[in-house]
Structure 1
Amino acid sequence: MSTAPRAPRVLLAPDKFKGTLTAAEVAGHLAEGIALERPDAEVVVVPVADGGDGLLAAANSAGFEPVELTAAGPLGDPVLTSYAVRADGREAVVEMAEVCGLARLPGRPTQMTAMAATSRGLGEAIAHALDAGAAFVLVGIGGSASTDGGAGLLQALGVRMLEVDGSPLTPGGAGLGRLARVDLGDLHPGLAAARLTVACDVDNPLTGPQGAAAVYGPQKGAGQHQVRALDAGLAHLADVVARHTGQDLRDAPGAGAAGGVGFAALALLGAELRPGAEVVLELTGFHRALAGADLVVTGEGSLDDQTLHGKAPAAVAAAARAAGVPVVAVAGRVTLDEQQLQRAGFGAAHALTDLAAHPEESFTRPGVLLREVGRRIARGLPEAGSSPPSRG
């Protein structure tokens, strides 16, 4: 009994093209182009992310369901936001950028917002998920606006952060130097049984020249004076927490992530910090989808040196290479040379800027260009029934 020849199987696993298209939209345009050239090809879509903005969209594409809530934005004002849960409510995904990140600021970051921004909304979203019965919470902390050492996060989860007179610590990094003690007596009870994982793609310590304030403060509006003040406040926070716990984690890799949210999660919430892209590939079922694929297509807005340091396309390429599946990258622009691409596992790379009639077209008409890239990729697929590429 003969069997029908197997059609080529293409796994589309792009990240977002920041400021232009979501990961799902990128995949949609590529899929249209592939279908125009090879309607017989089987296309599987698994949008990915690296733990920053785009994590929530990746979770929703993987079958999670959005949950709306009102939480504190970066300056404490209430905002309508959401997180994502599995259908059974046992797994939740919270994206800091969506709740209280830089994109939530009413305008560009300023010195005032750098000192006043709070992580409280992130804690409120986590608490909401725990109240609903989540036993596992994945927290993406990229795109943060705050440098408060995670104080707001902790307060929203029941940690009492107290000044000398017993009053609650004021929001934002500006008040950290007034912290006198912490009290975990009212810590959210759901944390005792739940597993908290923080998707973190940086290894900065909390303080010092490579710390949260020095490295990321300027991106959040801090000038030199504010950077020094914030760094001193973070150091004081670490001193107070160390006295309470008997353990000093200010130099732990990732403690400086998201303005010190990494530190708070490690030191007082018992969280695990893991590379964001690695966690997202597990979350979205990428490894299952990889089985049987003849080609993987990944990418992001800019394929550059940062891609090689924990970004989602590099993680996709590494996983595909380990499985012996060839990988093609697609990006708005590509600044990596051939050797860098090959070392990272990319067999080829397509830049929209190479197809655009003028540089702006890659931003104004990315869908058209991506469809053309999809057609070009499809032309290299094996014919139905032919041997797939070697998986050496």
Structure 2
Amino acid sequence: MNIVIATDSFKGSASTFEVADSIEKGIKNLEPFASINKFPISDGGEGTVDALVAASNGKFIEKEVTNPLGEKVSGRLGLLENNIAVIAMAEASGLTLIKEDEKNPFKTTTYGTGELIKAALDLGVDEILIGIGGSATNDGGAGMAQALGVSLKDGNGDPIGFGAEALENLEVVDMTNIDNRIKGTKVTVFSDVVNPLCGLNGASYIYGPQKGASEEDVKWLDQLLYKYGGTLEKQLNMPVMNEKGSGAAGGLGAGLLAFCNAEIHSGVNKILEKTKLEDHIQNADVVITGEGKMDSQSVYGKAPIGVAKIAQKYNVPVIAIVGSEGSDIREVYKHGIDLVIDIINKPMDLKKAMENACELIEYAGEKAIRSFELKDKLLKWREPYEFI
């Protein structure tokens, strides 16, 4: 049996490597001699560095950076072949870096992401790949720009400070001291969303609530980004507000377009392309993918759907193992997923599920193979009756 495991991380509980290893362990409980190929994947979120470093035999580099609330943490970037660096903004500015009761999209900053970009520039790379999923921020990439030397000033010429709340006072964007190395470096952004910066489909309204914003908060956050985006367009003569993906990661997409002359691409498509996953899927008997939560929103650029679309080309069945499934899960079955297995096998609270994620994923891996093998048993059961 030839099995491909291509899973995203389960945010906050298991990395892409841990998820794949746990599924493999479950499979081996039942099929110890199965041939298994594991591929960590991502849609641009926290598993981006892992996926691309593994695919290219690259290396990890540790860097002390600033987390969303201004505290120092250890972040990673990857150095790949062909003098390319890969960064996941979640490593420095991600939601998993702060506690639930610390969420505050008015105060969180992308400054640490800018520090990771500077670290990549220090390596002398020719290209930087940036995954921008899983953010805790709503500052439009202002903090990232500040870390690169951009001065954001109020009407008196004083620095405005950090976080979305500081954008209220923004009047001047001073590019005098920006790190000039960024101008000669190609910046490619991986994003799983196409939202514009502002409006009802923008960064604040769509993603603000998961970062701690109330219904009233999102209205004010949207206004702050509207002022910020308008200032960027006027002073830098660069249209960013309505570009696809400009609202990704709390508007970091817009900041990368404006300050780094970045190009935004579908995260999952680019990452799957670079991992050469298709070469292995076409010869597989079954593909097992997964993510922390699967629902109707998963069809919009999430990694497991990207995997399933490749498998569909070769008529390979796809089983998704997930931390939880939404009530609208039926939508994913229209996009190449054949079976969804939730790891929760008995009543338990979220905390316990996250603490025991690897054990639960292992059990689900065994269940996935039992389900796949059941297909062959059913076909054999039908054979005597096909001539009647």
How far is 1:99 from its partner?
0.6
Equivalence for 1:192:
183
The equivalences for 1:225-236 within 5 A come to: 225-236=216-227
How far is 1:336 from its partner?
7.0
How far is 1:357 from its partner?
4.5
Equivalence for 1:146:
137
Does 2:40 match 1:17?
Answer: no
How far is 1:338 from its partner?
9.0
Equivalence for 1:67:
61
Q: Alpha-carbon deviations, 1:316-352, whole Å to 9, x = none?
A: 0001212443322222444578964542112333333
Does 2:318 match 1:327?
Answer: yes
Q: Which runs of 5+ in 2 are unaligned?
A: 377-388
The verdict on how the C-alpha distance between 1:185 and 1:322 changes in structure 2, with shifts beyond 3 A counting, is farther
Q: Is the 8 A contact 2:341 2:368 kept in 1?
A: no
Cα distance in structure 2, aligned partners of 1:231 and 1:339: 32
Q: Which of the numbers 240, 249, 255 marks the counterpart of 1:264?
A: 255
How far is 1:224 from its partner?
4.7
Equivalence for 1:28:
21
Does 2:71 match 1:80?
Answer: no
Equivalence for 1:389:
none
The verdict on how the C-alpha distance between 1:378 and 1:217 changes in structure 2, with shifts beyond 3 A counting, is closer
TM-score using structure 2 length = 0.85
Equivalence for 1:55:
48
How far is 1:187 from its partner?
2.8
Q: Percent identity?
A: 34
Higher mean C-alpha displacement, 119-128 vs 139-148: 139-148
How far is 1:367 from its partner?
4.1
The equivalences for 1:254-293 within 5 A come to: 254-293=245-284
Q: Is the 8 A contact 2:148 2:178 kept in 1?
A: yes
RMSD over aligned CA atoms reads: 2.7
Equivalence for 1:173:
164
Cα distance in structure 1, aligned partners of 2:97 and 2:330: 39
The verdict on how the C-alpha distance between 1:336 and 1:313 changes in structure 2, with shifts beyond 3 A counting, is farther
- For the residue of structure 2 that corresponds to 1:115, the secondary structure is coil
The verdict on how the C-alpha distance between 1:262 and 1:215 changes in structure 2, with shifts beyond 3 A counting, is same
The verdict on how the C-alpha distance between 1:17 and 1:143 changes in structure 2, with shifts beyond 3 A counting, is closer
Cα distance in structure 2, aligned partners of 1:11 and 1:119: 36
The equivalences for 1:202-351 within 5 A come to: 202-335=193-326, 340-351=331-342
TM-score using structure 1 length = 0.85
Cα distance in structure 1, aligned partners of 2:101 and 2:123: 35
- For the residue of structure 2 that corresponds to 1:46, the secondary structure is strand
Does 2:30 match 1:37?
Answer: yes
Q: Alpha-carbon deviations, 1:246-272, whole Å to 9, x = none?
A: 333212222111121111112332111
Cα distance in structure 2, aligned partners of 1:151 and 1:101: 15
Q: Alpha-carbon deviations, 1:59-108, whole Å to 9, x = none?
A: 3443332211111211223222222222x572222112221222223552
Equivalence for 2:385:
none
Q: Is the 8 A contact 2:282 2:311 kept in 1?
A: no
Q: Which runs of 5+ in 1 are unaligned?
A: 1-7, 383-392
Q: Which of the numbers 67, 82, 94 marks the counterpart of 2:87?
A: 94
- For the residue of structure 2 that corresponds to 1:116, the secondary structure is coil
